[in-house]
Amino acid sequence: MLVAAAVIVLAIMLAGIYLIEPYDTGRSPFFSHAGVRALAPATGNASRGRDPAFKAMIVGNSRIQLISPERLKKATGLDFVQMSVPGSGPKEQLALIDWFLSHRREPAKALLVSIDETWCTSDPALANERPFPFWLYEASPLAYARGLLRWEVLEEVPPRLAYLLGMNAERSRPDGYWDYDAEYTQRGDKMAAAHRQELAAKPYANAPRHDRDPLAGMRNFPAADRIGIVAASLPEDAALILVVPPLYKNWLPPEGTEQAFRLQACKVAIAGAAQRGHARTALVDWRTDRPEIRNPAWFFDKIHYRQPIAQAMEADIAATLRRLH
C-alpha cells in the first residue's frame, strides 16, 4: 500500500515537473514562456537551441565562447546563437547540433563548429570527461522524463515558477553570449602570475623532430565520421564552418613533432569528411603560426584568448561565410 502510494506521489510530481518545464525544452503543452533564467550553458541551451529567432549556431567549448553572435550578425546578416559549453567535447557538441537542427522551423543557414584536440580522439565512443545532461536533448519523451528524476531538477522548479509567474522576470541573454574577457578584466585575474608562467613555458623545447609525410600512417578519428553525417544532413545552401581555435605560440606543436603530425592528420580527416558530406564547407584554421598568437597580452592562458583575437577570428569567419553564400 505504501509502495503504491509512493509511486502515485512520484508520478504526480514527475507530471508536474514535466508540465512546468524547468528548462524550457518545448515539451509542455501548457507552460510555454520563452527563455530561461540564468542557467549553466549545458542546460540553458535547451531553450536557446529551439528559439526560432536564430538561423545559425556556434558550438564548441570555452575556446570558441568569445566569438560574438552580435558581431557576426553585423558582419553577415545572420542571426547566430552561441551554444558553446565550457569543458565539452564532440559528444556533447554533436548532441547540441542535433537539438538545434531538429528545432528549426526554417532551414538552418550556418553552423559554426569549433574543432580542437578533443575532436582528435581515437575513442569511437567519444567519451565525455565532464557530466552533461544528454537526457535533456533526447528525442524520446520517456528518456527525458527519466532525466527529470534528479535533485537538481527539483531545485529548479521554484525559480522556474517564479519566472513563469513574472515574479522574477530576469532572463538570461537569448543569444547565449558570455564575454569572459570583460568579466576577468573587471575582477582582476588572481591567477595572473600562474598564467604568465604557463605562457612562458616551452613544452616542445626538447621534443624530437621527424622528417616524414605529415599524413603518413594517419589514424582513425571517429569524430570525423560523425561530423560527416551532420554535414550530409544540412540544407544545400547552409554553410558549415569548422574553426580550429588558436594556441599561444609556445604551445603550438612545432613542425616535425609527433603532436604536429597528429594535429595535421586530425584537421585533414575532419575537414575532408565534412566536405565530402556537404559542398558548402570550409575550414578556418587558427591553430597555425601567425602574428596574433605571439602576443601574450592577448591570452589569459595557453588556450583562452582575448577580444583582439576573437574579433580577428570573426573577420575570417565572416569573410568565409560571405564566400560560401
CB 299 within 8 A of CB 198: no
DSSP letter for each residue of 117-137: GGGG---TT---SS---GGGG
Of the candidates 63, 130, 146, 140, the one whose C-alpha atom is nearest the C-alpha of residue 98 is: 140
CB 57 within 8 A of CB 112: yes
Residues of the chain scoring pLDDT < 70: 1-15, 30-34, 168-169, 186-193, 213-218
Task: State which amino acid sits at residue 7.
Answer: V
Q: Which residues contact 145 (CB under 8 A, 6 or more apart)?
A: 14, 18
CB 312 within 8 A of CB 271: no
At residue 97, the pLDDT reads 98
At residue 154, the pLDDT reads 83
Tens digit of each residue's pLDDT (9 = 90 or more) over 96-110: 999 999 999 999 999
Q: Is 123 exposed, middle or buried (0-12, 13-18, 19+ CB in 10 A)?
A: exposed
CA distance 156 to 150: 10
- Using only the alpha carbons of the chain, give its radius of gyration: 22
CB 52 within 8 A of CB 147: no
At residue 188, the pLDDT reads 63
3-class DSSP state of 114: strand
CB 58 within 8 A of CB 300: no
CB 222 within 8 A of CB 126: yes
Q: Which residues contact 138 (CB under 8 A, 6 or more apart)?
A: 144, 147
Question: Quick one: CA torsion of 166, 167, 170, 175, rounded to 10 degrees?
Answer: -40
CB 263 within 8 A of CB 287: yes
CATH superfamily of 39-130+173-324: SGNH hydrolase (3.40.50.1110)
CB 221 within 8 A of CB 121: yes
CB 245 within 8 A of CB 283: no
Tens digit of each residue's pLDDT (9 = 90 or more) over 298-310: 998 999 999 999 9
Q: What's the whole-number average pLDDT of the chain?
A: 88
Q: Read off the C-alpha cell for 102.
A: 531538429
